[in-house]
Amino acid sequence: MPGWDGWTSSGELSRGVIHMDISLRDRFIGLWQEYFPGAELPVTFELTEDDRGVERAPAPNGWRCMVCDLARVRRGKSLVFTQESLSCSGAKYYMGFVKGRAPDFRYFLSCGKPGSVRGERYKKNPEIVDELVQKGTFLPAGSRHYLFSRWDNLNPDDNPDVVIFFARAEVIAGLFTLANFDRAEPHGVICPFGSGCSSIIHYPLHEGMAECPRAVLGMFDPSARPCVPVDMLTMAIPMRLFGQIVESMEESFLITDTWEKVKKRIEMSEPRNPR
């Protein structure tokens, strides 16, 4: 499976070039339709210097959360995101384009600064924000861009790094259990604090470098919630882990009577079209 090999001398992530296995793409689509009927297909992204003729996401007018723009990808439109596609300083940081945090970030994420900075109040005080920033890991994108595609639009030239599901509880339950299927320790899924984009890009990309990568449950950021339908969360899975999950599906709980009951709930769920 595609995965990151380590760091280059310039401080960028490096990996071997392993192109998409189309048989895996098609096999997963069949399994997904069988065990998760009616649920939307995931989207993927890869870091690449080759846009491959894919349209670039335009520069937004004013502030805009990039999660909102992924609705087009969920509907089947592949897009390339560069630094110029982003207006949010958080996205620029978590996608590896800008290392430094915005001025007064410690106040923005906490209680604000009277007369100059509106506080989001996601952290109790600036000191906690300082510690959070200090413990963070920056993953530089370098000269590369992010190419987002829906799973069924992948082709042999693609080399996805992360698979992202936008889903409601029943589907999330299945993905959560699959991520823990072949491991003894109970933490096959993590749920770190961060922005909406960090939960689907930064943290799963970081997990993809680990010896035993984990899935990332996310989209709890109140600022990003307006970009997704009501009740929808995300599960972002490093490609190295995702390949193992696909191989396990037909021997897992998905073939049991227990899952048949959940499948009926998925089938009854009202479709949530991308916004």
Whether 242 maps to a domain, the answer reads yes
> Could you tell me if 173 and 72 lie in one domain?
yes
pLDDT of residue 104: 94
Tokens of 210: 């680990």
DSSP letters spanning 182-250: T-SSS-SEE-----HHIIIIIHHHHHTTSSS--EEEE---TTTGGGS-TT-EEEEEEHHHHHHHHHHGG
The one-letter code for the residue type at 225 is R
Whether 273 maps to a domain, the answer reads no
> Could you tell me if 167 and 120 lie in one domain?
no
Q: Is 3 helix (H, G, I), strand (E, B) or coil?
A: coil
DSSP tally for the chain: helices H, then strands E? 10, 9
Whether 45 maps to a domain, the answer reads yes
Dist CA 126 CA 124 (whole Å): 7
> Could you tell me if 80 and 186 lie in one domain?
yes
pLDDT of residue 5: 46
> Could you tell me if 164 and 203 lie in one domain?
yes
> Could you tell me if 85 and 104 lie in one domain?
no
Among 137, 163, 193, give the residue marking a domain's end: 137
> Could you tell me if 212 and 113 lie in one domain?
no
Beta-carbon count within 10 A of 58 CB: 10
Tokens of 221: 């950021």
> Could you tell me if 124 and 152 lie in one domain?
no
Whether 274 maps to a domain, the answer reads no
What is the value of pTM for the model shown? Answer: 0.91
Among 80, 111, 137, give the residue marking a domain's end: 137
Among 109, 137, 165, give the residue marking a domain's end: 137
Whether 175 maps to a domain, the answer reads yes
Digit-by-digit pLDDT tens for the chain (275 residues) are 444 444 343 445 555 556 789 999 999 999 999 999 999 999 999 999 999 999 999 988 888 999 999 999 999 999 999 999 999 999 999 999 999 888 899 999 999 999 899 999 999 999 999 999 999 999 999 999 999 999 999 999 999 999 999 999 999 999 999 999 999 999 999 999 999 999 999 999 999 999 999 999 999 999 999 999 999 999 999 999 999 999 999 999 999 999 999 999 998 875 666 66
Helices 169-179 and 257-268 sit at what angle, rounded to 10 degrees?
A: 140
Number of domains observed in the structure of the chain: 2
Tokens of 118: 């509106």
Structural domain including 128 reads: 100-137
> Could you tell me if 35 and 160 lie in one domain?
yes
Dist CA 14 CA 8 (whole Å): 6
> Could you tell me if 159 and 63 lie in one domain?
yes
Q: Which long-range contacts (CB under 8 A, 24 or more apart) does 229-232 make?
A: 229/272, 229/273, 229/274, 229/275, 230/272, 231/168, 231/169, 231/272, 232/166, 232/167, 232/168, 232/272
